[in-house]
Structure 1
Amino acid sequence: MTSSFLSFQNVTAWHRDQLLFTNLDFEVKRGQHWALVGESGAGKTSLLQAMAGRLSIVGGNVVYGFYDDFLKTHPKPDVFFSFQNLVAEVGQKHSFRNVSSNTADFYYQQRYHAADAADAPTVDQYLEALGAPAQESPVWTREKLVQTFRLAELGSQQLIKLSNGETKRLLLAAALLRNPRLLLLDMPLTGLDGEARAHFEEILAEITASGITVVMATSALEIPKAITHVAVLQQGRLLSTQTKEEFIPRATHLSEDPERQAAEIANLLAESAPVPTSFQTILDLKNVTIRYGDKTVLDGVNWLVFPGERWALLGPNGSGKTTLLSLLNGDNPQAFAQDITLFDRRRGTGETIWDLKKKIGFVSPELFQFFPYQNTCLQVVESGLYDTLGLFKESQPQQEAKAMRWLELLEIAQHAGTKLRQTSASTQRLCLLARALIKHPPLLILDEPCQGLDPQQQHQFKQLLEAICAHSSTTLLYVTHYPAEIPNCVTKVLRLEQGRVQEKS
């Protein structure tokens, strides 16, 4: 048995027509657990994909020491068995499949429509379809995983109805059911509340103690205790490797010219005539209660928001925040059975969903998960002017120019002509942020807008949002699990817990 668990030797790798790595040398030794860090687009996800064998290696050599050692003590099950059978991945997006079509054709509003939501498998059905672990006497059995990840309480729920945190728990459990030798995690802490992050720390320690080697992409500021080594990447190059104790995060590079950014935002807002904002109230919820079967998701919520107010909507995973926002942005049909007034008009009194959506700029983790990816980044941003999930009409030169200016503000203009699916997850998220901002709506609903962004991008977006609030009367609802992300313009708080309002100030 060699000390090398996995070794990349002078590797050059491509994906589709894009060169990702050139002459890459990287080694994971036995007993090591690695964090891959670096700014967005540095190559963290690509390196995980290379380890999983999903990139085209056109030069150099990859040695899967863990696979060679496995074959020394286990007969090869069949001719198709490869190192990939010993690897499990948890990415930033799921690939759940509907029951009737057996295709991953979930759509954004599916969770709110009873008939279509029922086409999604339940948690129990999903785990059953994965089958039993192939190994004899596996460490991670289905029973242990259900207990460790608290899945029994979710068993009868359709996958499409799970919260972000619940989905992550299920995906990690599904990966461990394979009892892999190598576990690859892409930004696993993204979107988790404080309690869930602490629970992840405990689980990761148990995973590494069970003999599984972990390599994860993560923020340089969120490296779990179980990690032993850190690799820093930049633009597809390996800058440095060191033990976790030796690693010192690099200082965040701040915007060099915030005044220029603020001036450009002021110009864009002035040129974008907003929907008339002479409303008495932006939203007024009275005793709103939402139930799905026996589960009460929102319980007697009252909330009044006036024009120009900036609110933080806080609460742990599963507290009802996503459901509450779905009632506001026109995606949840249960809004019509509730006492909800938006922009001075009671829901269900004749307004169309398009009347509502043209007044709202919206972004969320669910939108990121299900947004169609056939458009270019520039087209995605321009589609925000028409409230469509993608551009379905001929681009207008004036609107296209405006979309380009927003891409430039967010420093991703170089991706304007690139298909959204071919860009990094952080670039995709920034495109969706620009799509929400471009039409200068009277209400901005930003659900975890900094999710997946590196510290520089987070700082830049926070500055941008401060400038928008300083130069407009835009009403803001801001959701996050990280208090430091909340911009200074936010002065009010609504906190939910188990569907009830715990704080309103």
Structure 2
Amino acid sequence: MHTPLITLNNISVRFTNSTLFTQLCFEIRQGQNWAITGKSGSGKSVMLQAIAGNVGINGGSIIYHFMDDVHKLYSDADALLTFHRFIAFAGAKHHFKTLSNTADFYYQQRYNSSDSEDTLTVRQYLQSVKVNTHAPAYWTFDKTVAALNLTTLCDKQTIKLSNGETKRLIIAAALLKNPVLLLLDNPMTGLDVETRKSFNVLLNEIAASGISIIMATSTHELPDVVTHVAVLDNGAISQSLTKKEFEVSEHNTINKTTVDGEALKALLNTSATQHHYKQIVSMTDVLIKYGEKVILNKVNWQINPGERWALLGHNGAGKSTLLSLINGDNPQAYANNIILFDKKRGTGESIWDIKSKIGFVSPELYQYFPTDNSCLQVIESGFYDTLGLFRPGNKAKADLALSWMKALEIEQYARQLLKNIPASAQRLCLLARALIKNPALLIFDEPCQGLDDHQQQHFKSVVDAICSISNVTLIYVTHYQHEIPDSVDKVLRLDKGEVVS
């Protein structure tokens, strides 16, 4: 029988103003690698944070059995040799800093060359990781960089990384610590198909190097390395079984979703200004370079009113840069032949003129969006295209925000601060913020990240309903074919900055 690594004995955890766990029990033994699954908001991420020591427990205890061996090996070690050094956590959000050691990033910084130079490169970021000198150094810098496919990115500023590249970097930083226990919070989200395949192989090598893995993940993404599965439900582990015993079909959280078409039609008419444009987007031979690095190479794209596009491509293919040209965030738009909403860029229109016509959401927006507003305030801020509400609330707009929350099944969070609700609900709030002003163009960049099956299916149904009763134009980005709404019927695919289909 394998010896225990950690044991959670009847732990209770309060997160913000609610109790997530009461008398939660869990144990991981040597040679085991666990997947923690469950509906959105069930506490998967908080459970990992509690194990990592990043969230305090209010009752019970967590026993780190592996520390017994550590103390035997390093009997004269300093008093700071705690379990924290032997656990690495790779979360959903990064904590990059500027060269002046602050975290004062802003959303558009990645597109402004002078400002982005104030950020660490991938190499500098990884070299700043505090390596545990009391652990065997199997995962060296060179080995880790190669394994996470970061070699060609070493001199790139962290702020300029794509969502998937950022995910790989966060995991690399965790791996460099050569931990006893590696905690991964939804590690597959944001990764393209090929990267997910190679990551599956990497996890096997990590386990073979003696590191045990616990990951929060969807039931549909259980890598080969997983030996056991625990299902979280209502603050407790409802099932704990081997992967062979686990039946994915029994844990399908998709329920039949219904969308109130009349209520949605009323919402779309409430803020209705009819959109009359000949062209939504027209790009001709668009070229974007940073130094000698070509990001987009002679891209041509025509988007007409009412069209619904999928924008596809691997991590780092140039999708986010292409969207930044449409959303008014990238100053290189002025040096290119780009028409937005019938106006050529650089002919007197402001960024705010452009943004007023677009509803936008992306992983980067989620990363940088301030979280100290209430959810109603966050959604109302969509009227003003600001990252948060910086003016007194308007009752009519707040009522409309609440109606959109009901449409997305998150009205229970209306008065709570954004930072105090589950990550999945935070993302849905930002989706409601994109929808509230009934824009001419919706840009949804990986909108279903972090949503469970039911939430994904319901959101798709809402998008399809909106497309069926309005002339809204849609650009939809995802790495998962099943997430694409049925209303999407056109595709632009990028590969290394060039259009391939």
Letter in 1 for 2:296: L
- Structure 1, residues 371-396: CA drift from partner, whole Å, max 9, x if none? 11110111101111111111111111
**Which residue matches 2:59?**
59
Q: C-alpha deviations, 1:327-378, integer Å up to 9, x for none?
A: 0001000001110000000001000111100100000010011111110111
Matches within 5 A, 1:92-111: 92-100=92-100, 102-111=101-110
Distance in 1, Cα, partners of 2:276 & 2:188: 41
Structure 2: unaligned runs, 5 residues or longer: none
Deviation at 1:192, TM superposition (A): 0.6
Supply the AA of the counterpart residue of 1:257. T
- Mapping 1:88-487, distance limit 5 Å: 88-100=88-100, 102-135=101-134, 137-249=136-248, 250-255=251-256, 257-258=258-259, 261-274=260-273, 276-487=274-485
Give the distance between the partners of 2:272 and 2:75, measured in 1 at CA: 69
In structure 2, what is the Cα distance between the partners aligned to 1:359 and 1:383? Answer: 14
Deviations 1:407-432 (A, max 9, x none): 11111111111111111111110000
2: CA distance, partners of 1:253 / 1:299: 41
C-alpha distance 75-397 of structure 1, shift in aligned 2 (>3 A): same
Asked if the contact 1:133–1:141 (Cα under 8 Å) also holds between the matched residues in 2, the reply is no
Cα 1:235–1:280 change in 2 (3 A) is same
Separation of aligned partners in 2, 1:190 and 1:349: 39
Offset, 1:18: 3.1
**Aligned equivalents of 2:405 and 2:35: distance in 1?**
30
Q: C-alpha separation between the residues in 1 aligned to 2:77 and 2:169?
A: 28
- Residues 252/137 of structure 1: CA separation in 2 closer, same or farther (3 Å cut): closer
Distance 1:2 1:60, change over 3 A: farther
Letter of the structure 1 residue corresponding to residue 401 of structure 2? A
Shift of 1:300: 0.3
What RMSD over aligned residues (CA atoms) do the two structures have, in Å? 1.4
Letter in 2 for 1:232: V
What is the letter of the counterpart of residue 125 of structure 2? Y
**Larger deviation, residues 59-68 vs 464-473:** 59-68
Deviations 1:300-343 (A, max 9, x none): 00001110000111111111000000000010000011100000
Task: Note closer, same or farther for the CA distance 1:52–1:76 as it changes in structure 2 (3 Å cut).
Answer: farther
Shift of 1:29: 1.3
Displacement of 1:137 in angstroms is 4.6
Moved more, 150-159 or 172-181: 150-159
Q: What is the deviation of 1:150?
A: 2.5
Asked if 2 retains the 8 angstrom alpha-carbon contact of 1:41 and 1:235, the reply is no
| Structure-2 separation of matches of 1:8 and 1:117 | 43
Question: Any idea what the Cα deviations from partners look like across 1:284-307, whole Å, max 9, x if unmatched?
Answer: 000001011121110000001110
In the TM superposition, residue 270 of structure 1 has moved relative to its aligned partner by 1.6
Instruction: Check conservation: 1:132, 1:142, Cα contact below 8 A.
Output: no
Counterpart Cα distance in 2 of 1:63 and 1:137:
22
Contact residue 11 and residue 23 of structure 1 kept, 8 A: yes
Tell me, yes or no, if the aligned pair for 2:39 and 2:253 is still in contact at 8 Å. no
Deviations 1:229-277 (A, max 9, x none): 001012322111111111122133324533xx22211110122213x41
Aligned equivalents of 2:232, 2:52: Cα separation in 1: 18
Helix, strand or coil at the partner of 2:57: strand
Query: What is the percentage of aligned positions where both structures have the same residue?
Result: 52
**Contact residue 439 and residue 472 of structure 2 kept, 8 A:** yes
Tell me the distance in 1 between the aligned counterparts of 2:135 and 2:461: 55
Contact persistence 1:359–1:443 (CA under 8 A) = yes
Aligned length in residues: 499
For the 8 Å contact 2:40–2:424, the answer to whether it is kept is: yes
Letter in 1 for 2:72: K
Contact kept in structure 1, 2:253 and 2:452, CA below 8 Å: no
Deviation of 1:76 (Å): 5.2
Cα distance in structure 2, aligned partners of 1:432 and 1:367: 9
The one-character-per-residue Cα deviations of 1:143-179 (angstroms, maximum 9, x if unpaired) are 2112222222111111000111111111111111111
Find the aligned partners of 2:471 and 2:106 in 1 and give their Cα distance.
Answer: 33
Q: Which residue identity does 1:262 align to in structure 2?
A: G
C-alpha distance in 1 between matches for 2:294 and 2:254: 45
TM-score for the superposition, normalised by structure 1: 0.97
The residue type paired with residue 177 of structure 1 is: L
The C-alpha deviation readout for 1:176-199, integer Å capped at 9, x for no partner, is: 111100100000000111001001
Distance 2:20 2:164 in 1: 31
- Give, in angstroms, the shift of residue 11 of structure 1: 1.2
Shift of 1:201: 0.2
In 1, the alpha carbon distance for the partners of 2:320 and 2:168 equals: 17
Please state whether the residue corresponding to 1:242 is helix, strand or coil: strand
Question: Relative to structure 2, which stretch is displaced further, 218-227 or 18-27?
Answer: 18-27
Summarize deviations over 1:482-504 as a string: whole Å, max 9, x none: 1111111111111100000000x
Secondary structure at the aligned position of 2:70 is classed as: helix
Q: Does the 8 Å CA contact 2:6/2:27 hold for their aligned counterparts?
A: yes
Q: 1:10 to 1:133 in 2, by over 3 A?
A: closer
Rounded Cα–Cα distance in structure 1 between residues aligned with 2:206 and 2:383: 46
Letter in 1 for 2:345: R
> Are residues 182 and 220 of structure 1, via their aligned partners in 2, closer, same or farther at CA, if it must alter by over 3 Å?
same
- 1:253 & 1:480 partners in 2: Cα distance? 19
Secondary structure of 2:58 counterpart: strand
Are the counterparts in 1 of residues 460 and 483 from structure 2 also a CA contact under 8 Å?
yes
* Aligned partner letter, 1:163: S
State the secondary structure of the residue aligned to 1:56: coil
Letter in 1 for 2:122: V
Aligned equivalents of 1:30 and 1:147: distance in 2? 27
- How far did 1:58 drift? 2.3
Structure 1 segments of 4+ aligned residues over 6 angstroms from their partners: none
Choose 327-336 or 417-426, whichever is displaced more: 417-426
Q: Cα offset for 1:204?
A: 0.5
**Equivalent-residue separation in structure 2 for 1:191 and 1:151 (angstroms):** 16
